[in-house]
């Protein structure tokens, strides 16, 4: 007897309903994320990093306050050189197995629908981090007429030039309550600081992912330079950089005004490399071998157009072999 | 398929489905937040409603230019039928009679009633061609489409225009062989035009079907006109066309006092606004779309991923049946109106309009929601076909079709009612639900509607007189929540672009606005929300709190500010190099 294929329709609908239920049931609850985050918090060590996957499972973020959590959309290509150990909180089939083989899984536990993986990070290790030591860097501007200006006002996040008011007045303004700042927003939104032309610790959307990086807006009128006098010695200098996404790609075509820039890297005053910065979406990576021994590093940015050049970068000095690991 | 006129029983069933729809929408309205547009229409609605009520006040010169501009000047880019009904509903049901406690629900009642009527008409469309069983399944399939159900709550135009579209088609179907209905169809078109611009396309679509009807008649009888005194399709088509042109236009102009002055200029403004509508960005399959050409497959993929699987399967089967029936009718020269062509065209055209590469694609499924009643009828037909197949070719009874259809739509009903407040985030299992859709970078948010879910946490945690940055939701929605007692009165609204001047941030997750979430991180010094609205683990709203009061930065002198980098030989000379001058 030939089977009646019409019976497959209700069966298919029933199966799809079952699949939908299964899909919903494997989504972690907020309590499960909290339990996993607490487990990490209890055993956190200096040098640990934390991340979660998949990135779109945002509910876990409510449990992450105070943890050294970083953003990644793709575990396989994530730069882990800042960390000794990594905690991966995974859900929906994502876990540390998506990391490259250079890293070693130490532990895997489950907290309901969240898995907690502890990984020993392999590969290069950051030994010098300008983002962490911005207070020690010098921000200068160099105009074509030969003048050099040191931007020496520290705002709490970065270095500024061209204050409208005396430094103390500006500091007091920045320390006002949020309500006061809102009240004066129309006439004095930034306490007299230039909101764009400075060098600061920042977080920007670049290459579809938030990046904690150093904001350094180039200027058409002057070369802007960030000098890292205390840069340590290491095997390589690594620089990740880019313009923020809405300025170069994710926007109406008629609103995109950014022009390419150039990033010169100097070591002890000598040009190490000149890196073109394309006016394109992406978190670009540059790496170069460093001569042995510590020496000041400087990063000089130039452009032909100031408008919307929301540049951000993350320079680090790295060693290729981690202490204690086999070369 | 022949067109059977609806009986009293049909209207009774339709009315019951209508009441069921209204009841479910009213019950779930409190779960549905206020999106940007709706907050504008609340305001515009009150103004329009007050103008109408002013007609009954002898002291108000309602028909003066000044009064009309006061009543209809705000948001004059859209016709005013629905806004007037929203305002009247609010003023009467809430303010005067007190029958509806919630201001928001009072504004929404006209849309909700029209959604009920749309279900009624969807039932009739099914019942008229294939019996009550198909009609019931069609009505239920339409009611239990999560996104359609979600949009049907709003005091906006998308739900009402869906009803209007079906109403025009229904009256046109009746007018195929009735002069009385031809007159009604003209009024229906006018009312449709008074609701939203979408209905502008309906007469052209129906003209195409009418020409097909005339061609079929000629092919069947050898003549364009009916014999003797009998009235043929040409006569009815001319009546309908005349009615739509005359009455449709008259109703449109009559309903909109704004057009009574500077008519030509304002009409031009109206047309220009819509023909040059801004393209709001949409995330779709990994790309943020800002400018045309937009992907042709957008409405098809979005429908395949946001309609319940049962509805998709049944409607695809039904569509096949509809196509075959239409084909047979042409081949066999059957003597009946081309209802199959009418249904298929009404299903296809809203999709095709959005699929055109230059048509803006923001807003998602609501912009082709007018196709959904016809898709639902196809689901009804599909159910009947499946059951007939299961019974080995025997035609199933009405109760069997409706019962089996209802059973197969249980998952759709669950999905619809479970997601009533967040229907825009619903994705079916074909893409792995909302988490799968997020991985595919499909949109799940819509102009600040999801705020409502974050209000309890904000009310519970915010300090007195907290300053809240409302992000993509409007001040109008902020005020509406306060008016309904959903948001604490002391919480203050900081305005647009005020992340840095707030203590609380209510971020609405949309990919094109991600950088605004990052503005909050920068301002508050934390990347992590304290609470929020999460749908299957995916963020719809992130609720952020500034961890502490701002502190004045400590003075810091630059370290090693003396020149340390003498220009080396061979270095490309840069003016000003060689020493920083403090």
B82: which DSSP letter? H
Q: Is residue B403 within 8 angstroms of chain A, CB to CB?
A: no
pLDDT at B564: 43
Nearest to A24 among B390, B536, B558 (CB): B536
Nearest to A179 among B435, B467, B559 (CB): B467
Q: How far apart are CA B244 and CA B184, in angstroms?
A: 9
Model pLDDT, residue A322? 82
As a whole number of angstroms, the distance between CA A314 and CA A203 comes to: 11
* pLDDT one-digit tens code per residue, A38-78: 999 999 999 999 999 999 999 999 999 999 999 999 999 99
For residue B100, pLDDT over 70 is answered with: yes
Task: Note whether A42 and A94 are same-domain residues.
Answer: yes
Query: How many Å lie between the alpha carbon of A326 and the closest alpha carbon of chain B?
Result: 36
Q: Are residues A245 and A106 part of one domain?
A: no
> What tokens were used for B376?
């639902």
CA-based nearest distance A260→chain B, Å: 19
Q: Give B 499-518 residues with CB within 8 A of chain A.
A: 500-503, 509, 512, 514-515, 518
pLDDT of amino acid A325: 62
What is the least distance, in Å, from the CA of B445 to any CA of chain A?
14
| Strand-pair category, A198-206 with A209-216 | antiparallel
Residue A287 lies in a domain: yes
Contact criterion met (CB below 8 Å) for B496 and B36: no
In a domain, A18, yes or no: no
Confidence of residue A152 (pLDDT cuts 50, 70, 90): very high
Residues A215 and A308 in one domain: yes
Q: How many CA atoms lie within 13 A of B50 on its CB side?
A: 13
ipTM for the whole predicted complex goes beyond 0.90: yes
Quick check: is A231 in a domain?
yes
What b-and-e string marks burial along B544-575, b requiring 16 or more CB atoms within 10 Å of the CB? bbbeeebeebeeeebeebebbbeeeeebeebe
Q: With a cut of 80, say whether residue B439 has pLDDT above it.
A: yes
Partnered with residue A215 across adjacent β-strands are A200, A312
Contact residues, chain A, for B536 at CB < 8 Å: 23-24, 27
Residues of A in contact with B528 (CB under 8 A): 61-62, 64-65, 69
Are A152 and A38 within one domain?
Answer: no
Q: Give the position of tokens 């999560």.
A: B146
Do residues A148 and A96 share a domain? no
**Does one domain contain both A148 and A255?**
yes
Categorize the per-residue pLDDT at B562 as very low, low, confident or very high, splitting at 50, 70 and 90: low
pLDDT computed for residue B571 by the predictor: 37
Q: Is residue B26 pLDDT above 90, yes or no?
A: yes
Cα separation, B118 vs B143, in Å, equals 9
- pLDDT per position as a tens digit, B30-56: 999 999 999 999 999 999 999 999 999
Q: Mind telling me how many Å the CA of A120 is from chain B's nearest CA?
A: 25
Instruction: Answer whether residue A250 is part of any domain.
Output: yes
Whether A156 and A288 share a structural domain:
yes
Cα dihedral B411, B413, B416, B419 sign: negative
The tokens describing B9, both together, are 């029983």
- The count of structural domains within chain A is 2
Local confidence band at A326 (pLDDT 50, 70, 90 cut-offs): low
Confidence of residue B223 (pLDDT cuts 50, 70, 90): confident
Sign of CA dihedral B285, B280, A284, A214: negative
Identify whether A116 is part of a domain: yes
Res B228: pLDDT: 80
State the Cα–Cα distance between residues B394 and B404, nearest whole angstrom. Answer: 15
DSSP type of residue A69: B
> CB count, 10 Å around CB of A26?
16
Residue from A22, A28, A59, A155 whose CB has the most chain B CBs within 10 Å, to mutate:
A59
Residues of chain A positioned with their CB less than 8 A from the CB of B415 = 20
Closest CA to B564 of B548, B554, B577, B551: B577
Q: Which residues does residue A87 pair with via DSSP β-bridges, in sequence order? A: A50, A118
Tens of pLDDT, residues A83-102 = 999 999 999 999 999 999 99
pLDDT confidence of residue B187: 98
Residues A269, A223: one domain? yes
Q: For B121-154, write each residue's pLDDT tens digit.
A: 999 999 999 999 999 999 999 999 999 999 999 9
Closest CA to B489 of B462, B452, B521: B462
- Does residue A72 form part of some domain? yes
Count interface pairs A-B at CB distance under 8 A: 239
Please tell me the distance from the alpha carbon of residue B46 to that of residue A126, in angstroms, as a whole number. Answer: 62
The confidence score (pLDDT) of residue B230 equals 79
CA dist B443 to A56, B1, B438, B535, Å? 12, 39, 7, 13
Full residue range of the structural domain in which residue A44 is found: 30-122
The answer to whether residue B548 neighbours chain A at the CB level (below 8 Å) is: no
Question: Residue B478's beta-bridge partner residues?
Answer: none
**Mean pLDDT score, A176-204:** 96
Residue A93 within a domain: yes
Q: Do A268 and A197 form a contact (C-beta atoms < 8 A)?
A: no
- Between positions 14 and 43 of B, the ones with CB within 8 A of A are none
The whole-number pLDDT of residue A2 equals: 80
**A112 and A131 co-located in one domain:** no
Considering CB atoms only, which of B310, B514, B565 is closest to A269? B565
Is B186 a residue whose pLDDT tops 50? Answer: yes
Residues A65 and A131 in one domain: no
A42 lies in the same domain as A109: yes
Please tell me if residue B490 touches chain A, with a CB cutoff of 8 Å.
no
Q: Which residue, B424, B332, B408, is CA-closest to B146? A: B424
Mean pLDDT of chain B: 93
Mean pLDDT of the residues in chain A: 96
Under the banding of pLDDT at 50, 70 and 90, the label for residue B582 is very low
Exposed / middle / buried, residue B392 (Cβ in 10 Å: 0-12, 13-18, 19+): exposed
For the residues B59-87, what does the mean pLDDT come to?
A: 97
Q: Do A205 and B515 touch (CB under 8 A)?
A: yes
Domain end among A71, A90, A122? A122
Q: Which pLDDT does position B182 carry in this prediction?
A: 95
**Confidence check: pLDDT of B572 > 50:** no
Query: Is residue B543 classed as helix, strand or coil in its secondary structure?
Result: strand
> Sheet holding B504-508: strands in order across?
B492-493, B467-469, B504-508, B538-545, B531-535
Q: Are A148 and A297 part of one and the same domain?
A: yes
CATH number at residue A223: 2.60.120
């Amino acid at each position: 007897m030939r089977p009646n294929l019409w019976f497959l329709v209700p069966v298919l609908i029933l199966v799809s309903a079952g699949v939908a239920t299964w899909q919903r049931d494997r989504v972690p609850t907020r309590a499960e994320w909290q339990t996993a985050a607490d487990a990490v918090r209890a055993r956190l060590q200096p040098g640990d990093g934390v991340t979660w996957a998949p990135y779109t499972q945002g509910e876990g973020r409510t449990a992450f306050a105070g943890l050294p959590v970083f953003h990644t959309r793709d575990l396989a290509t994530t730069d882990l050189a800042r960390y000794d150990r990594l905690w991966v909180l995974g859900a929906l089939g994502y876990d540390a197995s998506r990391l490259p083989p250079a890293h070693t899984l130490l532990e895997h536990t489950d907290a309901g629908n969240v898995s907690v993986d502890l990984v020993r990070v392999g590969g290069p290790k950051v030994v010098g981090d300008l983002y962490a030591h911005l207070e020690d860097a010098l921000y200068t501007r160099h105009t074509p007429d030969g003048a050099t200006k040191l931007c020496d006002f520290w705002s709490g996040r970065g270095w500024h030039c061209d204050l409208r008011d005396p430094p103390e007045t500006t500091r007091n303004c920045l320390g006002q309550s949020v309500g006061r700042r809102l009240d004066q927003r129309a006439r004095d939104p930034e306490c007299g600081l230039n909101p764009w032309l400075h060098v600061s610790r920042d977080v920007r959307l670049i290459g579809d992912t938030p990046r904690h990086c150093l904001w350094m807006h180039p200027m058409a009128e002057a070369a802007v330079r960030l000098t890292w006098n205390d840069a340590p010695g290491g095997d390589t200098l690594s620089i990740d950089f880019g313009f923020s996404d809405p300025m170069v790609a994710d926007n109406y075509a008629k609103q995109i005004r950014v022009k390419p820039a150039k990033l010169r890297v100097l070591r002890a005053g000598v040009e190490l490399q000149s890196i073109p910065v394309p006016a394109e979406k992406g978190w670009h990576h540059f790496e170069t071998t460093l001569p042995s021994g510590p020496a000041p590093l400087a990063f000089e940015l130039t452009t032909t157009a100031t408008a919307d050049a929301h540049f951000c970068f993350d320079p680090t000095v790295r060693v290729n072999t981690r202490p204690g690991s086999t070369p | 398929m022949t067109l059977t006129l609806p009986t009293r029983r049909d209207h009774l069933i339709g009315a019951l489905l209508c009441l069921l729809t209204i009841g479910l929408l009213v019950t779930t309205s409190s779960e549905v937040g206020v999106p940007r547009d709706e907050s504008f229409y609340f305001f515009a609605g009150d103004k329009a409603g007050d103008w109408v009520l002013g007609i009954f006040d002898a002291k108000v010169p309602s028909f003066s230019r000044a009064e009309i501009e006061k009543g209809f000047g705000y948001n004059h880019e859209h016709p005013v039928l629905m806004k007037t009904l929203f305002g009247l509903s609010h003023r009467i049901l809430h303010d005067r009679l007190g029958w509806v406690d919630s201001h928001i629900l009072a504004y929404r009642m006209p849309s909700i009633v029209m959604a009920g009527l749309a279900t009624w008409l969807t039932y009739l469309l099914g019942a008229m061609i294939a019996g009550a069983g198909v009609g019931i399944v069609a009505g239920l399939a339409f009611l239990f489409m999560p996104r359609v159900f979600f949009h049907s709550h709003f005091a906006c135009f998308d739900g009402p225009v869906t009803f209007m579209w079906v109403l025009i088609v229904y009256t046109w179907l009746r007018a195929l062989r009735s002069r009385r209905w031809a007159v009604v169809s003209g009024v229906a078109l006018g009312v449709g035009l008074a609701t939203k611009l979408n209905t502008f396309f309906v007469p052209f679509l129906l003209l195409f079907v009418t020409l097909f009807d005339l061609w079929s008649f000629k092919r069947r009888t050898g003549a364009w006109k009916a014999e003797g005194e009998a009235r043929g399709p040409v006569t009815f088509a001319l009546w309908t066309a005349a009615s739509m042109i005359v009455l449709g236009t008259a109703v449109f102009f009559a309903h909109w006092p704004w057009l009574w002055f500077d008519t030509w200029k304002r009409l031009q403004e109206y047309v220009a606004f819509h023909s040059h509508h801004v393209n709001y960005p949409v995330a779709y399959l990994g790309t943020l779309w800002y400018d045309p050409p937009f992907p042709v497959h957008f409405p098809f993929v979005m429908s395949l991923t946001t309609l319940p699987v049962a509805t998709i399967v049944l409607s695809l089967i039904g569509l096949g049946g509809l196509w075959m029936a239409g084909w047979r009718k042409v081949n066999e020269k059957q003597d009946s109106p081309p209802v199959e062509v009418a249904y298929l065209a009404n299903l296809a055209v809203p999709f095709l309009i959005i699929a055109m590469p230059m048509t803006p694609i923001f807003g998602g499924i609501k912009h082709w929601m007018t196709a959904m009643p016809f898709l639902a009828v196809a689901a009804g037909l599909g159910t009947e076909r499946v059951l007939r197949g299961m019974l080995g070719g025997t035609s199933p009874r009405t109760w069997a079709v409706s019962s089996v259809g209802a059973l197969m739509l249980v998952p759709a009903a669950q999905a619809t009612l479970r997601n009533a407040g967040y229907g825009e985030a619903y994705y079916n299992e074909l893409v792995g639900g909302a988490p799968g859709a997020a991985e595919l970078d499909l949109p799940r948010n819509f102009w600040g509607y999801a705020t409502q879910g974050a209000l309890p946490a904000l009310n519970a945690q915010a300090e007195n007189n907290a300053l809240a940055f409302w992000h993509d939701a409007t001040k109008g929605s902020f005020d509406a929540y306060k008016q309904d007692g959903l948001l604490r009165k002391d919480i203050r609204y900081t305005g647009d672009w005020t992340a840095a001047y707030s203590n609380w941030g209510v971020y609405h997750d949309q990919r094109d606005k991600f950088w605004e979430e990052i503005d909050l991180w920068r301002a508050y010094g934390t990347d992590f929300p304290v609470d929020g609205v999460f749908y299957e683990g995916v963020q719809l709203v992130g609720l952020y709190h500034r961890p502490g009061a701002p502190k004045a930065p400590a003075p810091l002198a630059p370290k090693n500010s003396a020149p340390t980098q003498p220009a080396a030989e061979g270095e490309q000379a840069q003016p000003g190099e060689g020493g920083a001058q403090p």
